[in-house]
Amino acid sequence: MANILLVEPDYKNKYPPIGLMKIATYHKRRGDNVVFYKGKAPYPTVIKSDRVYITSLFTFYYDILIDTIRHYQNFLPEQTIYIGGILATIMHDKLQAEVGRSHVIPRQLTSSLMLGYDDNVNIDELPIDYDILDDVRYKYPAADNFITYTTRGCPRRCSFCAVSILEPEFKYTNNLKEQITEERRLYGDKRNILLMDNNILVAPNTKLKEICDTLVDLGFIKDKPTFIPDNPAKIFFRKLETRLETKASIIILVDNFVEYFLKFITRIKNQEISNRLSSMIPLMQSGVRTQTLLENKSFIIDVVERYRSKKKMQRYVDFNQGIDARLLTEEKMKILSVLPLRPFRLAYDSSKCTKDYIRAFDIAYRYGVRHFSNYMLFNFNETPGDFWNRACRNVRLYNSYEGLHAFSFPMKLAPINMTDRSFIGKHWNKKYLSAMNVILNVTKGVIAREKDFFMRAYGKDIKEFHEILTMPNEFIKYRKLFEECGLTEAWRRELHALDRNERKCLLKYLSGEMSTSFAYHKILRYYKITRHQLVSGTLNLNDYL
């Protein structure tokens, strides 16, 4: 029996580490002890480990990954450390040279032989182990979903995309039903499924229909609510007893359940039950809380069962990486339409895709889709004006159909061969990208379908969009505040007084590209103003208006 430590570097991410969760399944089936840690585990945890698996994500997290690897190499022999994932595949040679004798494993683990074991198990097709997420306090927003693939690969080979490196061959996984069935048995049911296929529509219609039929068989049926959540108390006690049996840590698991249960019982009005709970609550918040929970197991399960919601809910299928608008046909959409698709994600990465995008959108709408989302690349080959045109066209498209729920996700290009996010597209500059980041933070990263909302955030035309991108970031972030006091209009007058060359110099200066005499131009004083100065009264407005 080996002690296995699974590690994800301490960056923020939406999705749990699927690769590590499959490795957890593999090692637990071998009878090994498995622990998951996010970031740098303390020395007592590390030193007990016979093997460490470290996952990697985007290449711009390179420095975080290296720092994490070095931490574990300080305590363990290098050859006991295995590194995989996206970055490890894209930058395999560079990473291998950096980490010495530690093993860098590219692409999917299609055989345990890749890890030095002789049982030749296809780890990539194993169910994912959701229980390891109870080892960490980090909350993954997408963790409460089934997450899987029905296909791997994409033949498009877009220059900005890493899929051709990560999954060079288009193929079928052929284990959808077995994986979901096993995950339900082991970890309980989940309402929705995220399919991470990179281009599902490459599949011929017969295969696409087979995939959709399997999803329907698994309960993902359009316009038919079939999901009733499992009793959370039953799930908790199953996890607790398993962890006690294997001598795994229970601290975070118990913390989370006690927090949930204390909120849950506020809905209970029955006096007899409330009286018993009142005597339990102090003990549940003390050093004997685990003992208290176990002694009252049946009572807790019964209380949760009695008062929890048992209303059937609609399940949803989310092709999370998006649908290729160029490949969507009436026939393929007819096949897909048996599924409860929400949202229906389409990529709109270039103005060249406009015709295909609008056509695909219309087909999906005619087959009953009412929840849309789309990805919009920027900072690549197109200008800020091209981006505005795409975004505006999208908002108008959303408003030309009835009964829609729709939003767009602008996504800044970060080239797959760079180890940071410093890339600036040839038509963009550092100031514009900084302003885009402020706008997206204010709008929570999306462009909604409301036209007035779009015009306010991005301007009524391309000229105004450029003006907003040039605006001081504080003025963008606190738009109403600076407008009402007159500072925005005062800044605008200064901007309009600049000739074309001076505007170029302003943007270069704000982007850190020049430090000439323009550094003394009076418009720059507006870029030093902060909200705090304004609301605290330390700013003399008369000096600026």
**pLDDT tens per residue, range 27-58:** 999 999 999 999 999 999 999 999 999 999 99
Q: What order of strands is seen across the sheet that includes strand 193-195?
A: 146-148, 193-195, 317-319
CA–CA separation, 379 and 392 (whole Å): 17
- 323 pLDDT band, cuts 50/70/90, is very high
CB atoms within 10 A of CB 61: 21
- Asked if the model's pLDDT at residue 514 lies above 80, the reply is no
Q: What pLDDT, on a 0 to 100 scale, did the predictor assign at position 413?
A: 92
Contact assessment for residue 64 and residue 18, using Cβ atoms and an 8 Å cutoff? no
Q: What pLDDT, on a 0 to 100 scale, did the predictor assign at position 5?
A: 98
Which of 29-38, 174-183, 414-423 is modeled with the greatest confidence? Answer: 29-38
Q: Which domains does the chain have, with CATH numbers?
A: 1-140 (3.40.50), 232-307 (no CATH), 479-545 (no CATH)
Structural tokens at position 377: 């690349």
Q: Identify the CA nearest to 398 among candidates 363, 370, 427.
A: 370
Q: What are phi and psi of 2, to 5 degrees?
A: -105, 155
- Asked if the model's pLDDT at residue 518 lies above 90, the reply is no
CB atoms within 10 A of CB 416: 20
CA–CA separation, 84 and 101 (whole Å): 14
Q: What are phi and psi of 411, to 5 degrees?
A: -130, 120
Q: What pLDDT, on a 0 to 100 scale, did the predictor assign at position 516?
A: 66
Q: What pLDDT, on a 0 to 100 scale, did the predictor assign at position 272?
A: 86
- Mean pLDDT, to the nearest integer, of 473-481? 96
- Helix axes 271-284 and 251-264, enclosed angle (nearest 10): 150
Structural tokens at position 373: 């989302």
pLDDT, the chain, mean: 93
Q: Identify the CA nearest to 313 among candidates 186, 180, 219.
A: 219
**Alpha helices (H) along 188-288:** 205-217, 232-246, 251-264, 271-284
| Least reliable range by pLDDT among 154-168, 293-307, 464-478 | 154-168
Q: What pLDDT, on a 0 to 100 scale, did the predictor assign at position 282?
A: 84
**Cis preceding-peptide flag for 343 (omega within 30 of 0):** yes
